[in-house]
Each structure stands twice: as structure tokens, then as C-alpha cells.
Structure 1
Amino acid sequence: MLAPAMNGSRNVIIAAAEAKVRRVVFTSSIGAVYMDPSRSRDLVVDESCWSDLEYCKNTKNWYCYGKVVAEQTAWNVAREKRVDLVVVIPVIVIGPLLQSTINGSIFHILKYLNGSTQTYVNATNGYVHVKDVALAHILVYETPSCSGRYICSESSLHRGDLVEILAKLFPQYPIPTKCSDEKNPRVKPYLFSNEKLKDLGMKYTPVKEGLYDTVTSLQEKGHLPFLTGSRL
């Protein structure tokens, strides 16, 4: 995972420099930002934050490790080649699927609808609609004053809140109602800053609408039975 992440970033930035493009917009991931056990969940996670590489290595979280080194490689090469680089950092992306297959972000939703899991974990995630992620790229590309990193996040939810929203929208599916961790207190959601994009005029799609669009897309693509009674 690491070699393609670093080499891919390096090759794209070098190619952009050779083509004399005016700006490169790089899609990173929240995985490059928040994986740091020493950071309190009472603190806002903003664009200055980076995931702890040693922690990612020790926990064998190679996805987040790869996202960090991919973005850092892009920044290093961009500075060397004098490329105008701006980075968009989405949280978990929800909404309609372009592809017919299921990726990790969408399986994260699907498993609570198709009966494959009977409990939800004591964990939290940030969520954002795919159309907002697309708009974020356009905004930072077209605004000359943009620079640095831009976190793209609408809401940060505990899994218990997530399944509660799904159950209200789609009560016909076997959505779990119990947490797998009944001993520990509910984990607090991270506070992801989204002010930089809001300052550019971004108006985020409510997470409830994003989840509704996700499920209806799963129905349309045959990953879920189409059951009547869905409502937004």
C-alpha cells in the first residue's frame, strides 16, 4: 500500500510540473489527520493536525499510514517543483454510488442494513455527501486565494446515532439496536473543523439526506431489496 501511495503522488506532481498546470487539487483523507491517541476528543481537529505515523505503524493501520505518506510526498514534491498544491481532506463519503461495486465507506453503511451485523461498535466517524466533496474540489480549484489543506466534513456521529438515523429512515431493514461494547461509556465524536470550506461558500448537505441517498442508491444497484416505507 505504501509504495503506490508515495510513487503515485510523486509521479502526478512531477507530471503536473512538466505540463505547467496552474494548480493541482489533491484528494487526501481524514485518515491522514486524526489518528493520534494523544489528542483529546475535546479539541477541534483542524487542518494543522496529522495522524501519528508511529501509532499507525504499531496498530498496523496501513491505510492511514499510507494516506499520511501520500499527502506528505505530494507536499514535498510540490515545494520542490514549485507546484501550486491545494489539498481536500474528506471524511467518510456517503451518497449515490457511481460504481456497481461496494467500497469500504459504503460497506460501513450497508452492513447495518442487510443483517450481516447484529450490533454496532462503540466508535465514531465523520460523514460528508459525495456532491459536497466534488464541490469542495471545484471551490479550491477556482478560488485563487486558496492554499493549504481543507477538511470536508458535515457531521461527526457515534455509530449509535448513525443506526438511529437509518432506523428512522428505513425501519423495514434489520438495523441493530445494541452496542457491542456495553461496559464502556459512549465514545465522544471528533470535532472536525469545516470552517475553511464554509468560508468559501460551502453549504453542506445534511447527513440525514446523505444517508437516505446512500440507501436508495444501494437499492437501485441491487445491493439491498427495495422495501416500501422509505422516507426522508
Structure 2
Amino acid sequence: MSTTVAVPEGKGLPVCVTGAGGYIGSWLVKTLLENGYTVHATLRDPGNPSKNSCLLSLPGAQERLRLFRADLCEEGSFDSAIHGCHGVFHVATPIDFGSQDPENEIIEPAIRGTLNVLRSCKRIESVRRVVCTSSLSAASTADESAHVDESCWTSLDSIRENKRHGWFYAESKTLAERAALEFGKQEGINVVSIVPPIIAGPFITTTIPASVDATLSLITGNPLWYGLLQSIQFIPNTVSLIHVQDICNAHVFLMEHPAAEGRYLCSGHTTTMPDFAHVISGRYPQYKITSKFDESQSAAAGSISSQKLLDLGFKYKYSLEEIIDDSVQYFQKLTTLN
């Protein structure tokens, strides 16, 4: 398998998206269809209308979208979907913040599933690159003054010691990304990982994505999602966000760019919790934010660098305000928020 040839832009070439029923996966399918790709999309149950309806109704789906059943825990179940594809976007990951057995339901399946997908890619000679979706929770730090870049990896000891809300998600993403990059090196597969922060904005799924729920928890006051927002501050006292279209554009960019290799942090905007609350309340004064913050936290010391990605030529398109606006407007469609 070549480690230097990327997928040419669009031109109807087939690519595979795992986890196409989720937030990123579904929007990535939409983006790829808009860019002229033929898409093989995997779902655990492709016959389930709650998962497939948002995909089958997309422009171009009738001509260039095929749905496949695949399960992360089933060896070889991705072979059919990946067959004939030039590129693979591995987005699928098990996630259940209410899991009572995260070791066996989240962490182990995330690692095994990633390796199952990559072993399928190795068996299929047409694949030229795999882009794996990780998370900034795999590059987080306890240092408030940290400069976070691709060299930073989350300490598993710290995760297990603190066990903050959603700790198992951070562990699963850290271990799965490490496993993907190591497998690529050992097996000669061109594996690129993209490392995003909280993803928000519009969505086409029939349920509200957890990351959008977390982003808007200052408005809704939901303690579960606010707890998640607090737990996924990748640098203490900060909030890092990216628009879903920007992260999907970055996926396609890294698939297409011939020089892409290794790990890429992709963080659109980083701000402090007090400043984030001020932006929301300034744009939506009708919603009362009851959470209290230490205003001294407004002097953010840490930073999250996307310089490696920017040096390759990628450009962000969406502002923090646009992320908030799109999230609120789509959230309103499925809730009583008004």
C-alpha cells in the first residue's frame, strides 16, 4: 500500500466514512457528496430510518451514496464498505456517557474497532490514505499555561487518577489514536490523525449531538451537559470549539493534500469560560446564564496550536459567533428553547 499518494480532489472517486450516522460522520458524508465524491457509508444498522434518513435525503445521495453494515467489534466487517475505495475516513467511535462498564463498552471497543478498520484497509490495495478522527481530549494538559501542539499526549495516569466526567472517552481516544498511528508505521499504511476540540454548529442527525448539548449547556442549564463541558476543558479554564463544517473541510483537506502525514491539531477557537459566557449572553440576552465564573480567568494563558495544519494551507471559515448562532438555531428546531 502506498504511503505517499493522496486521494485526488473529488472526481467521483469512492471513499469510505465509518460511523456515518453520527454527528461528524453524517456531516462529512454531506461535505463529500457536495465535493463530488462517491461515498461508502457504514452504519451498525443501515436499515434504521433514524440513522439513514438524514443520509439518504442528501443531495447526490441517490447517485453517489451506498450504505453498508459494519460493526467496530467484528473483524472484517468493514471489508465490503472499504472495497474499491481510495480513501477511508475512520470517524466511528463507541460513546455512551452513561456507560456502567466503560472499560469493556467504550475503551476496548474503540481500540479494537480502529485496528479492525485499519486491517481492512491493509487488505484492500486501492486504499491510499486513512484519516482517523481523534479528539483534543487525547492532547489535554493540567498546565494552565501550556502551549498544546501535536507533541502533546494526554497522560493516562492523570485520566485514571482524576476520573472526571467522561474520563473514559478521553482514554479511549488517546489509546485509539496512538494505536492507529503505530499500526500505520508498522504496516506501511498512510495514516493521518485529526485532533479536534468540541464540535458544534448545525447538524442533520435526528437527535442533538452531545457536543452541541455541551456547548449550549450554559443556556439550557442541563447539569449533565454542563458537567461534560467542564470536564472537556483541554486546558483548565478554557473552552475550545470548532464549527462542524470547518472540521469536515479539514478532513477532506488532509485526505487530498499530498504532503499530509502524522498528527494534526484542528482547533478553531479557544477562549475562557467567562469570555465564552459573555459572548453567548451578548448574542442571546433572552437566555439567562446562571453559572458563576471567576472573572480573573479571562486572562487565558494557555494556547492550542493548529500551526502544523495552517502551514499546510488549511484555512478556517467560521467565527466563534457563527458556531454559537448555528448551534442555537439548529438546537431550537428540536427543542422548546425559544
TM-score band by shorter chain is 0.7 to 0.9
The corresponding residue for 1:47 is: 150
Deviations 1:166-225 (A, max 9, x none): 11111111223622xx5x9527363000112222332221111111111011112x2243
Is it true that 1:16 corresponds to 2:128 in the alignment? no
Report what 1:4 is aligned to: 109
What is the aligned counterpart of 2:268 among 134, 154, 157?
154
Structure 2 contact 238–270 (Cα < 8 Å) conserved: yes
Structure-2 residue corresponding to 1:186: 297
Gaps of 5+ in 1: 227-232
| Paired AA for residue 141 in structure 1 | M
Map 1:54-73 onto structure 2 (within 5 A): 54-60=157-163, 61-73=167-179
Alpha-carbon separation, structure 2, partners of 1:174 and 1:17: 52
The one-letter code matched in structure 2 to 1:223 is T
Amino acid corresponding to residue 72 of structure 1 in structure 2: R
Which structure's relative contact order is higher, taking Cα pairs within 8 Å and 6+ residues apart?
1
User: Could you tell me how far apart the structure 2 residues matched to 1:41 and 1:114 are?
Assistant: 27
Of 206, 212, 222, which residue of structure 1 is paired with 2:319? 206
Q: How far apart, CA to CA, are the structure 2 residues paired with 1:91 and 1:127?
A: 6
AA in 2 matched with 1:11 = N
1:23-102 mapped onto 2 (5 Å cutoff): 23-34=129-140, 36-37=141-142, 40-60=143-163, 61-102=167-208
Pairwise CA RMSD of aligned residues?
2.3
Aligned residue pair count: 219
Identity %: 31
Aligned-pair distance for 1:132?
Answer: 0.6
2:308 matched to which residue of 1?
196
Q: In structure 2, what is the equivalent of residue 218 of structure 1?
A: 331
Q: Cα offset for 1:107?
A: 1.6
Q: Which amino acid aligns with 1:123?
A: N
The one-letter code sitting in structure 2 at the alignment partner of 1:82 is G
Over residues 99-144 of structure 1, what are the superposed CA-to-partner deviations in whole Å (9 max), with x where a residue is unaligned? 12233311212322224469x9683221111111001111111011
DSSP 3-state at the match of 1:186: helix
276, 282, 286: which one aligns with 1:172 = 286
CA distance 1:116–1:189, change in 2 (3 Å): farther
- Compute the displacement of 1:16 (Å): 0.7
Which amino acid is the alignment partner of residue 124 of structure 2?
A: A
In 1, are the aligned partners of 2:266 and 2:306 still within 8 Å (CA)?
yes
| 2:43 aligned residue | none
Dislocated runs of 4+, deviation >3 Å: 115-118, 187-190
Contact 1:114–1:224 under 8 Å retained in 2: no
Is 2:199–2:211's contact at 8 Å kept on the other side of the alignment?
yes
Deviations 1:56-88 (A, max 9, x none): 111222211111111111112222221001111
Letter in 2 for 1:186: Q
Q: 1:209 to 1:15 in 2, by over 3 A?
A: same
Give the Cα–Cα distance (whole angstroms) in 2 for the partners of residues 173 and 98 of structure 1.
24
Flag structure 2 segments of 5+ consecutive residues without an equivalent: 1-105, 231-235
